[in-house]
Chains A and B, each alone.
Chain A
Amino acid sequence: MAVIIVFMAVIGGIVAWWLSHQRLTSKPWLEEGVIGEIPGTGASTLPAAKIGLGVFLAVVGALFAIFTSAYFMRMPMAEWRPVPVPGLLWFNTGVLVASSIALQWAVIAARRGRMGDVRWGLLAGGFTASAFVAGQLAAWQRLADAGYFVAANPADSFFYLITGMHGLHVVGGLVALGRTAAKAWDDVATDRVRESVTLCATYWHFLLVIWLALFGLLTGWGDEFAAICRQWLI
């Protein structure tokens, strides 16, 4: 459970930092009237949707941290044979990186007010992300053809489970991207879509980071780390 504990510690650190700016040591019973400048609530000036996405990413992060914890805890048990990771995954990773770059480009275009580029960015991002999902499915197909079925070995089971869960999150992102794209094609000003595009890009970058971590895990780069984890839970 070391991974999730570390993750929780990071979240706890962020929460503690935030709380330390919230005047938790004030004595509200002595403070009558308006506090500080209007509005004086201490609420941040970020849009609600951005905060909402941030909280959601924390939840998704917790989810994958727990998957990773479970992976490391199951690994030292009997019958664990690492999956020969198909080379296709390298290609898929490249495609996902391209997808993130495309969306980042859309964000920059939206900031500069170039709607045409925003549309192209969204289109390219959506296309590459779809290609990534298709590529992951193809990788499954190859593994299954080689006899690595979902129940063949716990390492295989984890491979399908974790890539599948990540893929589902990409698909979910595509739904959001589709709605953003629909807005972008509605002939509105770029500021109307800028926030949505930024949110999509943030989600994409986050899923890319998660994928890189998972990819490292599945290819066995995390084994050293696992040795440390194992000492945590004897």
Chain B
Amino acid sequence: MVPSGAVEGVLPGTAEGVPPAEADDLELYHPKSWVTKYVFSQDAKVIAIQYAGTALAIGFVALVLSWLMRLQLGFPGVFAFIDAATYYQFITMHGMIMVIYLLTALFLGGFGNYLIPLMIGARDMVFPYVNMLSYWVYLLAVLVLVASFFMPGGPTGAGWTLYPPQAILSGTPGGQEWGIILMLVSLILFIIGFTMGGLNYVVTVLQARTRGMTLMRMPLTVWGIFTATVLALLAFPALFVGAVMLLFDRVLNTSFFMPALVEMGQRLNYDGGSPILFQHLFWFFGHPEVYIVALPAFGIVSDLISTHARRNIFGYRMMVWAIVAIGALSFIVWAHHMYVSGMHPWFGFFFATTTLIIAIPTAIKVYNWILTLWRGDIHLTIPMLFAIAFIVTFVNGGLTGLFLGNAVVDVPLSDTMFVVAHFHMVMGVAPIFVIFGAIYHWYPKITGRMLDETMGKIHFWITFIGAYAIFFPMHYVGLMGVPRRYYELGETVSNLHSSDALNAFITVAALTVGAAQILFLFNLFWSLSRGRQVGGNPWRATTLEWQTPETPPRHGNWGKELPVVYRWAYDYNVPGADQDFVPQNQPTITRAA
């Protein structure tokens, strides 16, 4: 958290704020050995792959955890190794890993690092050394998290929201052991690491754009990642404060969040703390976090749709304004996660109103995606399939969000499986579809080879249909009143056992979808050497990353000269042009003869 690297890592070429049109490669740090080239690399593209690889690896752990928890929910009591404690550990770790360590890290650390410099025509991030540190601190955070699986007592089972007082009491797995401590330390590390990376993404977009690349000529992907990074930089401090204070409560016995408590007949050494305070801190981070994940997805999907429908994005300006508006609004809706915490009704009213207002810019985006597709030359490539799947899923999850955003509707639905179905649709499945679409889309740029299409199609259809098989019935299960976070329903709620068959069905679907991801993983490795080789611009796209002299792009991205940008990012099917796309760095449109 020191600006020392910020001073150290300046590129002379960008120090004047104006990237020169012709810049020598010399201004970059050049790796001298295998270790500095591939391990401790300062090249944003290598860092991006490191981020993405780590995020996907830990994501697969979270996937397996979801299998295990579904086994318990679908077939309670059948698997002896899942007891209540391990079940809570599974759900906690699944949630935390997926939201923070997979989605946030992959969108910003992975796609942000790879795409920002390439898409704006820069050689690299502005502070490459800090960028490298960012990854290694992230890796350390992941390792600390993983370590908690192997400590006595196992990882924390406090639920991904880590609400005190239960999070640090002995009744919660890991509460009085190492689990919660390592979880909090890992989060603190993650935030420090992210801040280093985030500074890079923001300043690079601000300062390192190439000639002609005005803000309004940036692809929406960059807009999405840029705005999300700003949100993350301002929102993560709230989680940082919450985590540090909870750590104090746990380790030093302070009473920030801990009220006077009697546990097992013993009065604990806490007094007067406020659990609600933690909820405020957590959700002041937690709600922007939804958009930290969603905004990059919005941006990327806009580019996927435009490219694969061969049509300019509809309402580019509106799209930019909507991204900024959503970003700003996301800071004043946090308490809609706390309707049942006993807040003043006027607060509920206020937060319900802001929550519903955020639907307006979001709806604008959805309409614009659909209008981009309208009369487009739609190529049903795998990225396009995932993009369409995203729109459908996001609308689905967004609509249930309108239900839950209203305090009166939320109160009976709170803490039921309906909520679980809602947020999985809107910020689980939908962004994951974009991640898959984006990987299929940019894999040829990263490796020079296509991912295998047959495997891709199988992967898509199983994932798409399977996700609906999981989460559609889950809404219904929730409406029946089945609560979330229950290890088993037991005998006292016999009326809810009519949901048993559905729960078993959901579990089978979840196992199938999970298995399809193994095929995806296999495809990633298989295509590295066997994929079809396809030149530098297989999708015939306009944005700068497809115009690099080499594929995959070398260190420094561009040859001797940086590209100059003459147009916006969406010149597809320009009337009279001889090709159906005009790259951003092409000075004039060549007319058909």
Contacts and interface: CB of A to CB of B under 8 A. Distances in A.
Contacts of A1: 280, 284
Given A11-B234, A29-B570, A40-B211, A154 B273 contact: yes
Contact of A45 (B16, B241, B316): B16
22 contacts: A23-B214, A23-B215, A32-B567, A34-B566, A43-B207, A48-B127, A48-B208, A49-B127, A55-B202, A58-B233, A59-B237, A63-B240, A67-B241, A70-B241, A74-B273, A77-B272, A150-B254, A154-B272, A173-B3, A179-B4, A179-B8, A196-B7
B223 to A, nearest CB: 11
Interface of B: 1-4, 6-8, 10-11, 14-19, 21, 126-127, 195, 198-199, 202-203, 206-217, 230, 233-234, 237-238, 240-241, 244-245, 248, 252-256, 260, 269, 271-274, 277, 280-281, 284, 312, 316-317, 320-321, 324, 328, 331-332, 344, 564, 566-568, 570-571, 587-589
Contacts of B126: 48, 52
A56 B3 contact: yes
B295 to A, nearest CB: 15
Interface string A36-66: 0011111111111101110110111011001
Interface in A163-178: 165, 168-169, 172-173, 175-176
B272 A80 contact: yes
A87 interface: no
Contacts of A233: 280
A172 B3 CA distance: 8
A49 B10 contact: yes
Contacts of A203: 3
Nearest to A168: B1
Contacts of A234: 344
Given A41-B214, A78-B272, A179-B7, 14 more contacts: A1-B284, A12-B328, A28-B316, A31-B567, A43-B206, A47-B10, A47-B16, A48-B17, A55-B203, A70-B245, A154-B255, A157-B254, A161-B248, A175-B4
Nearest to B126: A48
B370 to A, nearest CB: 19
A22 interface: yes
What is the interface residue range for chain A against chain B?
35 or more
A77 B208 contact: no
Contacts of B317: 24-28
Contacts of B3: 49, 52-53, 56, 172-173, 176, 199, 203
B335 to A, nearest CB: 9
A62 B203 contact: no
A52 B321 contact: no
A48 B1 contact: no
A35 B271 contact: no
A49 B238 contact: no
Contacts of B316: 28-29
Contacts of B321: 24
Contact of A70 (B21, B269, B277): B277
Contacts of A4: 238, 284
A23 B209 CA distance: 16
B170 to A, nearest CB: 18
B348 to A, nearest CB: 12
A43 B213 CA distance: 9
Given A4-B284, A77-B273, A161-B248, A151 B17 contact: no
A73 interface: yes
Contact of B6 (A26, A39, A49, A60): A49
Contacts of B215: 22-24, 42
Residue of A12, A46, A48 most packed against chain B (CB within 10 A): A48
A180 interface: yes
A61 B593 CA distance: 60
Given A150-B252, A151-B254, A179-B8, A47 B17 contact: yes
Max chain B C-beta neighbours (<10 A), residue from A40, A73, A172, A173 = A40
A7 B2 CA distance: 22
Contacts of B571: 29
B253 A151 contact: yes
B92 to A, nearest CB: 24
Interface in A128-178: 150-151, 154, 157-158, 161, 165, 168-169, 172-173, 175-176
A89 interface: no
A40 B212 contact: yes
A172 B1 contact: yes
A24 B216 contact: yes
A151 B331 CA distance: 32
B570 A41 contact: no
Contacts of B202: 55
B22 to A, nearest CB: 12
Q: Which 6 A-B pairs have the closest CB atoms?
A: A78-B272, A172-B2, A79-B272, A176-B4, A28-B568, A157-B254
Contact of B7 (A45, A154, A195): A195
Contacts of A151: 252-255, 269
Contacts of A188: none
A56 B134 CA distance: 14
Given A52-B6, A73-B280, A77-B272, A28 B237 contact: no
A196 B8 CA distance: 9
Nearest to A30: B568
B137 to A, nearest CB: 14
A176 to B, nearest CB: 4
Most A Cβ at <10 Å: residue of B210, B253, B254: B254
B17 A49 contact: no
B284 A154 contact: no
Contacts of B238: 4, 62, 66
A177 to B, nearest CB: 8
Nearest to B5: A176
Contacts of A23: 214-216
Contacts of B234: 8, 11, 58-59, 62
Contacts of B2: 172-173, 175-176
B584 to A, nearest CB: 10
B237 A43 contact: no
Nearest to B332: A5
A210 B428 CA distance: 38
B281 A22 contact: no
B130 to A, nearest CB: 8
A205 to B, nearest CB: 13
Nearest to A44: B17
A34 B272 contact: no
